[in-house]
Structure 1
Amino acid sequence: MKPIHKIATLFALTTALTVSSCVNDLDREPKFDVTSASVYADPANYKAVLAKLYAVMSVSGQQGPSGKPDISGIDEGTSNYMRLLWKLQELPTDEAVIGWNDQTIQDFHAMRWTSSDGFVTAMYNRIFYLVAACNEFIRETGDDRLATRNITGDAATNARTYRAEARFLRALAYYHAIDMFGNVPFVTEADAPGSFLPRQATRQELFNYVESELKALETELSAPRQAEYGRADQAAVWTLLAKLYLNAQVYTGTARWNDVITYTSKVIGANAYTLESTYGNLFLADNNTSRETILPVTFDGLNTKTYGGMTFLIHASIGGSMPVREFGVNSGWAGLRTTSALVGQFTDPSGRTDKRAMFYSQGQTLEIADITRFTDGYAVTKYKNVTRAGQAGKDPAGDFVDTDFPLFRLADVYLMYAEAVVRGGTGGSAANALNYVNLLRQRAYGGTTGNIITAQLTTDFILAERARELYWEGTRRTDLIRFNRFTEGTYLWPWKGGIAPGRAVEAFRTLYPIPATDLVANPNLKQNTGY
């Protein structure tokens, strides 16, 4: 049961959104069914509106799976936040290729996207759609508005909690903006909707803002694992802060390894999360039962129908001779595979030793001669729409899935802690870092045969271990950039830069471009270098 999204299906968010730069930008025109005044007059509606904010990450519009999209200018099925985020984080890396020729999709692995790319524009629009929706909710649930409506007692207390969660979601959206776009338009609830063209904040300014927001939220959200499933709590705040600090040197030029240790230690020290005993169980239809996941993006085959998110990730991973029904769906879309570079991170790609090696090789070639041919490259079997007992998800047609996306989980926290220690951060210990890494490897190997010693725990090892543990979880582009392996020629993978052996690409591609449409709409904006 995914209760926050059951609520989201019952109610359409109403708001007059200020989205990014221009009120006349039709690519981000919101479509809602009832008025803001009628919704916010009754505090009983607030949780449903909050549910819609969470649902922006998982569904594409007001009606599943399509028909009333949140944004236009792109096929609704491809406009989903999580589908876009996953593609922009994974397709330009060694972890994924896609066989389709939809629009400019092949430009991502070839690393040749432009400022007019429709997928880049849609990701940017999705981020600012969520920012604007959160701004409106935060504005309408402010203490002044609650007092005007004579909302007091428990209703007011609940509204303040929901407001804090909206602030977290806005911080998460801005984190994605910092990571992918750098210097972007900046608006908060204090800005009147539609009354101005937003200024462009620097990456450093946005970093400081997200950091301050998250620190302010530490005491306003529920204690770890005390919130309803699918909703942010203090551990989600600490994990996002750790991710922000982990990449601080990229974002601001100043490393913050000590802070990574501080906030990962908070998550670990809460003793609210434990590693799932079987790695594969983290990615099944009943993964909502796992105590390892800190914050999921939730999906439900009956209540959150979408062609994005996990529906995309599972269906698109199936093709060739793969047994479709074993994945709990009715068809494969024959799209996603991986490269030999990821397969090569595992000494035994069959998964007999390291259980995290979840590849399908029957009828598939290891090397890719033609990216558009599904049988070129191993398929990945990590995500399935079946439970631990082997039962398919709730949608009887097998179209939509129940599997949740593990946005934040404890294993990543362990690896962030270890990386910060290895890079010289203080406040932690080498012994703890080694222990956390070996805990992951003991799960993977079913014992201590995969354990490493202190001398082996290097930055190169951690990058490789992050690939083995977190592949296809939307972290790889960010990781490669942090380790100076994304655009450089020091690490190549098949078809990097559009040629079979791989090549170095322009250094400016560590950021995506500000969409050309926004540059035209808002003269306050300047394009990222290189575009």
Structure 2
Amino acid sequence: MFSRFLSRTLLPIALIAAVFALTSCDKVGVQPKGLAAADNIFQQDGAYKSYLAKLYAGLNVTGQTGPFGNPDIEGIDDEGFSQYIRLWWQLQELPTDEAVLAYSDAPVQEMNTSEWGDQNGFLSGMYSRVSFQVMQVNNFLKESTPAKLNQRNVSSDVREKMPQWRAEARFLRALSYWHGLDLFGGIPIVTEEDPIGGEPPQPNTRQEVFEYVESELIAITNSDGEENLPPIGQAQYGRADRAAAYMVLANLYLNAEVYIGEARYSDAIEYTSRIIDSGAYSLQTEGRGGFSAYERLFLADNQNANGLIFSIPHDGSNTQHYGGTQFLTHAAVGPPMDSTGNINQDYGVDFGYRGLRVTAPSYNLFSSADDRGIFYTTAHSLEINNLKDFRDGYAAPKYKNVTSNGNPGQNLTFPDTDYPMFRLAEAYLIYAEAVLRGGSGGSESQARTLINDLRERAGLGRDVGTQDGPSLTLDFILDERGRELFWEARRRMDLIRYGQFTGDQYLWPWKGGVKGGTSIEDYRALYPIPASELQVNPNLEQNPGY
């Protein structure tokens, strides 16, 4: 398991982190100091593997000491707020119909009501996380060139593994750049080739960032060079193989009209087909212990479930923090759900944070027969009169720190539930949508088969395209994504792609700060560049409208 890889290899990382201490953590162009000591650190072969573990851990933990106390990102009062997946999830879910959060913090309520500005703490935190990941990868790549390996006389074992390790690092950098591209548009591209300690970087356009991410992912999957990811299905769990890169490419191409004004649906079909046709992944179709097959994807032993392409492993002993699935398992639970005293048994948590709920339009997408509708409604109202009242809006305990045998995770505070970044089901949905949008290389009959596979797994049968069932249309695919990928950090980009995020075509409770929902401006389809970034890099320009 990757959690064991992480716990074994992360131990020396505090020393490495001290060597590469950042002068600031919220600047894309900031470079590390203290590089003179790098030769001493990397004389130890294990340091390279430790550094690679740190790159993966950047998506998971919040600092050098768990659960808090020595953060990677300074300037955020609550270290748990700085966790990568928590930030990514909140920026994709809270401004949509899928989730509201009860907390009184200003960044939370600004997201709930579509009223964020360039000083929102979640935005500066996410920008900083992307920057931190990029800088860490660049450091690794600078220090692992063939020349550096020769200079340090590293072992043949490390030399043999290094091309794949470098490909994995490049994947993680491309993943973060895709996140930055989606959220902020054009951001500076900084690579290992840029000089250390130079002038603040110049901004890049959204098109340039798109092309950079695309070229990097193709280079580490389709090139004849040495630096390639493992073939589909052949990576250690929790580490990237080519399927993970193909999923980023598929998302890039699915949203290309939004990102660069160019349709790339045929490419989305090509890369999802590579995953689907490989046979390396299959849908989880069997339930256990009273949990449905779908529910098993979000339990404390979901590393054993089928259909997970790339996950962020959580381990109650070794990856302790207040983000990721720790946040998702706890924030969706609280009174009156725990009034029976069975909160530990039912959800595998020690205390409910009384935060996350779903709005009525999203809840209403699910029929009572749909296994994917995982809601708690007792003593909750569907209508949300008060955003800060946990009882306003149904709770949705989709993520649980309980195994498929009904046993709680090893730690009731910090879950063992892995976060599924990419799943096979999403590849099915991308394929189907790309076909319906006119992409070549696929077929509507295959799209219908794939969607019916998902519907059958959800307990709904193979009803799409039948006389009594729904038709396979783009609107149906949007709704199906809202069911299958509920609370998986896709809703904002989906609504943007369908032209329903801004404007008044689609309203949901508290959109635009009005209980019944109101139109919001088109410029909010991009987040602003955080004010802190504009202050430290005069080359940056604010996104229009802010």
Question: Which TM class, normalised by the smaller chain length?
Answer: over 0.9
- CA shift in 2, pair 1:31/1:404, >3 Å: farther
The letter for the 2-side match of 1:334 is R
Say yes or no: does 1:517 pair with 2:532. yes
Give CA deviations for 1:157-213 in whole Å, capped at 9, x if unaligned: 212211110000000000001000001122000012222211100000010000000
Is 1:282 aligned to 2:297, yes or no?
A: yes
| Deviation (angstroms), 1:7 | 3.0
SS in structure 2 of the partner of residue 94 of structure 1: coil
**For 1:22 and 1:514, how far apart are their aligned partners in 2?**
11
Equivalent-residue separation in structure 1 for 2:529 and 2:160 (angstroms)? 39
Q: Which of 335, 343, 351 does residue 331 from structure 1 map onto? A: 351
* SS of equivalent residue, structure 1 residue 163: helix
Aligned to 2:218: 215
Q: 1:267 to 1:208 in 2, by over 3 A?
A: same
Asked if structure 2 preserves the Cα contact closer than 8 Å seen for 1:337 and 1:377, the reply is yes
Cα distance in structure 1, aligned partners of 2:261 and 2:135 = 29
Please give the alpha-carbon distance, in whole angstroms, between the structure 1 residues aligned to 2:106 and 2:27. Answer: 25
Q: Percentage identity across aligned positions?
A: 48
The alignment status of 1:507 with 2:522, answered yes or no, reads yes
Asked if structure 2 preserves the Cα contact closer than 8 Å seen for 1:116 and 1:516, the reply is yes
Question: 1:497 aligned to 2:505?
Answer: no
Matches within 5 A, 1:377-526: 377-395=393-411, 398-445=412-459, 447-448=461-462, 456-526=471-541
Counterpart selection for 1:100 from 100, 103, 107? 103
Task: Decide whether the 8 Å contact of 1:9 with 1:304 is kept in 2.
Answer: no
2:61 to 53, 59, 83: 59
State the aligned residue count.
522
Aligned CA distance change for structure 1 residues 34 and 103 (closer, same or farther; 3 Å): farther
Deviation at 1:146, TM superposition (A): 1.4
Match of 2:288 in 1: none
- TM-score, length of structure 1 as denominator length: 0.95
- The AA in structure 2 aligned to 1:529 is P
How far has the Cα of 1:23 moved from its partner? Answer: 9.2
Matched residue type, 1:497? G
The answer on whether the counterparts of 2:186 and 2:206 sit within 8 Å (CA) in structure 1 is yes
Of 426-435 and 154-163, deviating more is 154-163
The residue type paired with residue 216 of structure 1 is A
Q: CA deviation at 1:145?
A: 1.3
Instruction: Render the CA deviation track for 1:404-460: whole Å, top value 9, x for unaligned.
Output: 010000000000000000000000011100000000000111643577579711110
Offset at residue 18 of structure 1 (A)? 8.0
Displacement of 1:32 in angstroms is: 10
| SS of structure 2 residue aligned to 1:380 | coil
Distance 1:247 1:19, change over 3 A: farther
Aligned counterpart, 2:119:
116
CA contact (8 A) 2:71 2:79 kept: yes
Matched, 1:234 2:239: no
Q: Distance in 1 between matches of 2:371 and 2:466?
A: 17
Aligned residue for 1:57, secondary structure, equals coil
From 253, 262, 273, the counterpart of 2:261 = 253
| Partner in structure 1 of residue 131 of structure 2 | 128
For each residue in 1:471-500, what CA deviation from the matched residue of structure 2 results, as whole angstroms up to 9, or x when unmatched? 100111011101111012111111111111
- SS of match in other structure, 2:126: helix
- C-alpha distance in structure 1 between counterparts of 2:66 and 2:146, whole Å: 34
| In 2: Cα distance, 1:313 partner to 1:476 partner | 16
Q: CA deviation at 1:525?
A: 0.6
Report the residue type matching 2:398 in the other structure. K
Does the Cα contact within 8 Å between 1:355 and 1:445 map onto a contact in 2? yes
Whole-Å Cα distance in 2 between the matches of residues 216 and 307 of structure 1? 35
SS at match of 1:295: strand
Distance 1:456 1:77, change over 3 A: same
Q: Which residue of 2 aligns with 1:360?
A: 376
Q: Secondary structure at the match of 1:162?
A: helix
Instruction: Using structure 2 for the length normalisation, give the TM-score.
Output: 0.92
Cα distance in 2 for partners of 1:33, 1:330 equals 43
C-alpha displacement of 1:21: 7.9
Deviations 1:226-267 (Å, cap 9, x if unpaired)? 111100001111111101101111000001000000000000
What's the CA shift string for 1:70-103, capped at 9, x where partnerless? 0111021111011111111100000000001023
User: Is residue 244 of structure 1 aligned with residue 245 of structure 2?
Assistant: no
Q: Distance in 2 between matches of 1:270 and 1:502?
A: 44
Give the CA deviation at 1:151. Answer: 3.0
Q: Could you tell me how far 1:354 is from its partner in structure 2? A: 0.8
Q: Distance in 2 between matches of 1:498 and 1:388?
A: 40
Offset from partner CA, 1:291-335 (integer Å, 9 cap, x none): 200000111000000011111111111012214211011110000
Cα-to-partner distance string for 1:361-417 (whole Å, 9 max, x where unaligned): 00000111101000000000211000000111112xx11000001000000000000
The AA in structure 2 aligned to 1:227 is A
CA contact (8 A) 2:28 2:188 kept: no
Match of 1:345 in 2: 365
Q: For 1:19 and 1:452, locate their aligned partners in 2 and report how far apart those are by CA, in whole Å.
A: 58
1:84 to 53, 77, 87: 87
Task: Return closer, same or farther for 1:197/1:529 CA change in 2, 3 Å cut-off.
Answer: same
Q: Distance in 2 between matches of 1:89 and 1:184?
A: 18
CA–CA distance in 1 between the matches of 2:294 and 2:312?
18
SS of 1:296's partner is: strand
Q: Which amino acid aligns with 1:361?
A: T
Maintained 8 Å contact 1:18/1:193: no
Residue 5 of structure 1 corresponds to 6
Match of 1:71?
73
Q: Is contact 1:339–1:367 with CA below 8 Å preserved after alignment?
A: yes
1:227/1:19 CA distance change after superposition, 3 Å: farther
Alignment of 1:15-26 (within 5 A): 15=20, 17=22
CA contact (8 A) 2:102 2:356 kept: yes
Contact residue 452 and residue 463 of structure 2 kept, 8 A: no
Distance 1:498-1:209 versus aligned 2 partners, 3 A rule: same
- Aligned counterpart for 2:170 among listed residues 162, 167, 170: 167
> 1:473-530: CA deviations, max 9, x gaps?
0111011101111012111111111111101101111111111111111111100001
Name the counterpart of 1:182: 185
Partners in 2 of 1:384 and 1:337 — Cα distance? 15
- Output the amino acid matched with 1:312: F
Q: Give the SS at the match of 2:107.
A: coil
SS of structure 2 residue aligned to 1:406: strand
Pairwise CA distance, 1:4: 3.1
Between 442-451 and 486-495, the greater mean CA deviation after superposition: 442-451
Q: How does 1:126-165 map to 2 (within 5 A)?
A: 126-151=129-154, 153-165=156-168
